[in-house]
Structure 1
């Protein structure tokens, strides 16, 4: 395996059998990615599987410049980027009768002023392309409770020419989020298809699933098929929906067109996801998919401890509830006894950063200066008991 990794994921390069290097952001240095991909093509080519929105967007935009010896799900037809763009996705949903939150798309201050009086709070702000908003705000989706909050976030996005959506806040906590993870073949078949739902995520309510469980989700699977079949999509996708806490109705939230962070559920629940993903991309024939076993969990320990800390400190969950929620965990992300180096590498980086921060703070105190304020890797509003009821209804 050849891995082109972001700096934040450099620990993955220590994995057994992996070769590769740290790459710059493809939006800032497209040529470096073209050179790296052409080098891989010259060495024999192979299958390219994207693990980030930025990578999938780049491959879609540059597919025609890549050699034929490189096989990708992404193509130059624009389908991947259309589903990735939440505005285009919600328009498509409206056209085919799929329920989605109401929305306003904002790309200029003029458009923002035009809908100012129509916006009700709380609402949800989403980057049309979430990864672009995340690079600026630290998150792609966030709850907005007032006009002042909206204007602060909007200014930061619009100054960087990043369009965003204001959408309806669908009542229900994060456990109401369901997902259909699929691989759709060129002929419209589904070599891989399973359901899951979130038990916890980081940041809370609007983040990546830190503890995810396999679950039967027929409504979400049907909604996902309806959309993918309509546009003739080919590749891996993760469709997320939310069930309205009051009415029980299912709302489309988003479709990710790359391997989801919780893909370990595919191994935990017995559907042989990794092989079926690769084989479809490589054009290898597959037999019937093994049956999904519900209630099997996948945990991402590096963010699960953050999610647990937030939920327990806000008294939203007890430690007893946390421990019970871990039952059934079969996959632990990069933590593996068979291949421990990535986890040890990541832990070493975390420890070095912590030691460096403590040393810097001590040095500032010795010099009689206040310690510099630090910013967490994923900026998020702190959850307090007073804010908890509001957040849990998001």
Structure 2
């Protein structure tokens, strides 16, 4: 089937954007990508138009004008897709201007930003009794005293915006062992204009880290959902998944769905959670309101979240599965998983037996696809070149 509306995907510098592009293109949607530079994943055969535009931060207003100029030339309003938190923020900051020319499911200006932010998220989770790890903002009065008395050590320093933090420090969080380390990291973040907060650690192995992926329709009804747990992540202990498994975890539905119903949420979202190894309580760690690492896994399971988002935006009917059984399906991001394996082995957190026992030859790949090999080839050549430079 051909659609009159085009999909405009913001960001192809990571495999998330690639998954969105592929699963729209496979379904007959004309896909246009917009990025500030050429990237490995932008060479997918499912990209009909590849546009290089202004930077979303450095030239924000110019990018708004660039997108509006493009939309004005189209027969129908395009559907706008964010593939990273900073693109969500860009859409939120320019909500009124972009909504005149683009479609996307959310109609509540400011809601996505509130759900993304760890502090404002509490105004939704507290009334529902949803457990979240305690946090203290970096600019709190008596910060170091509060951390000692309320959180204790070890604890972690986390960013409000992950992408600039990871780009700067090559780490998703800082593990803090004592007050001296905390002062050092906080002062460094202040110098680098990185907004962070201090958070209590929820203790437990990687397999206690869960994801609840869901699509909510305009009536705040659950259209489709699935659950997963991590096996490995990079950086280890506090990073993004590199190897994960689809597994049904029934408790997550009753924790997450009330949150989205109470906020009037519409669209795709992923909730990251963790079970405390001692109390067995499950804590809500983070809400992602854009497409995520597991997009290719979702689509493999029949939960085509990019197409749900597209059809919802243009007012067409759509559906998806509620996955309530285990299918023994694994997902892998091989490039970073190799680093993760080495680190788990060297720190003694995993044994070779652990690694082998969880290994499956049939996996959903983050990047490689037989029907669209060029992004995988480009990335492989880049990775090899990077290794040789080292």
Identify if the C-alpha distance between structure 1 residues 28 and 111 changes in structure 2 by more than 3 Å, giving closer, same or farther. Answer: farther
In the TM superposition, residue 33 of structure 1 has moved relative to its aligned partner by: 2.1
CA contact (8 A) 2:68 2:101 kept: no
Corresponding residue of 1:201? 233
In the TM superposition, residue 48 of structure 1 has moved relative to its aligned partner by: 1.3
Corresponding residue of 2:122? 90
1:340-376 deviation per Cα after TM superposition (whole angstroms, max 9, x unaligned)? 1001111222223333x25xxxxxxxxxxxxxxxxxx
CA contact (8 A) 1:270 1:290 kept: no
Corresponding residue of 2:4? none
Corresponding residue of 1:112? 143
Q: Which runs of 4+ in 1 moved over 4 A?
A: 22-25, 290-293
TM-score between the two structures when normalised by the length of structure 1: 0.82
TM-score between the two structures when normalised by the length of structure 2: 0.83
2:342 to 289, 309, 312: 309
Secondary structure of residue in 2 paired with 1:88? coil
Size of the aligned set, in residue pairs, is: 355
Residue 62 (str. 1) matches residue 62 (str. 2)? no
CA contact (8 A) 2:332 2:365 kept: yes
Identify if the C-alpha distance between structure 1 residues 74 and 277 changes in structure 2 by more than 3 Å, giving closer, same or farther. Answer: closer
Corresponding residue of 2:332? 299
CA contact (8 A) 1:10 1:22 kept: no
CA distance in 1, matches of 2:145, 2:347: 38
Corresponding residue of 2:154? 122
In the TM superposition, residue 285 of structure 1 has moved relative to its aligned partner by: 0.3
CA distance in 2, matches of 1:6, 1:306: 28
Corresponding residue of 1:392? none
Residue 354 (str. 1) matches residue 384 (str. 2)? no
2:166 to 134, 142, 149: 134
Secondary structure of residue in 2 paired with 1:87? coil
Identify if the C-alpha distance between structure 1 residues 192 and 288 changes in structure 2 by more than 3 Å, giving closer, same or farther. Answer: closer
CA distance in 1, matches of 2:112, 2:166: 19
Secondary structure of residue in 2 paired with 1:238? strand
CA distance in 1, matches of 2:283, 2:153: 19
1:275-324 deviation per Cα after TM superposition (whole angstroms, max 9, x unaligned)? 33432233220245364552211111222222122223334333443243
In the TM superposition, residue 246 of structure 1 has moved relative to its aligned partner by: 1.1
In the TM superposition, residue 267 of structure 1 has moved relative to its aligned partner by: 2.5
2:295 to 260, 263, 267: 263
In the TM superposition, residue 329 of structure 1 has moved relative to its aligned partner by: 4.2
1:20 to 50, 57, 78: 50
Which region of structure 1 is more displaced relative to structure 2, 59-68 or 266-275?
Answer: 266-275
CA distance in 1, matches of 2:376, 2:52: 17
CA contact (8 A) 1:202 1:209 kept: yes
1:58-117 deviation per Cα after TM superposition (whole angstroms, max 9, x unaligned)? 111111111534112355621100011011113432232111122212236x55356354
In the TM superposition, residue 143 of structure 1 has moved relative to its aligned partner by: 2.3
1:327 to 360, 363, 381: 360
2:265 to 219, 230, 233: 233
Identify if the C-alpha distance between structure 1 residues 91 and 239 changes in structure 2 by more than 3 Å, giving closer, same or farther. Answer: same
CA contact (8 A) 1:214 1:269 kept: no
What do you get for the CA RMSD once the two structures are aligned?
A: 2.4
CA distance in 2, matches of 1:5, 1:224: 32
In the TM superposition, residue 15 of structure 1 has moved relative to its aligned partner by: 0.5
Which structure 2 residue ranges, 5 or more long, are not aligned?
1-30
Which structure 1 residue ranges, 5 or more long, are not aligned?
359-394
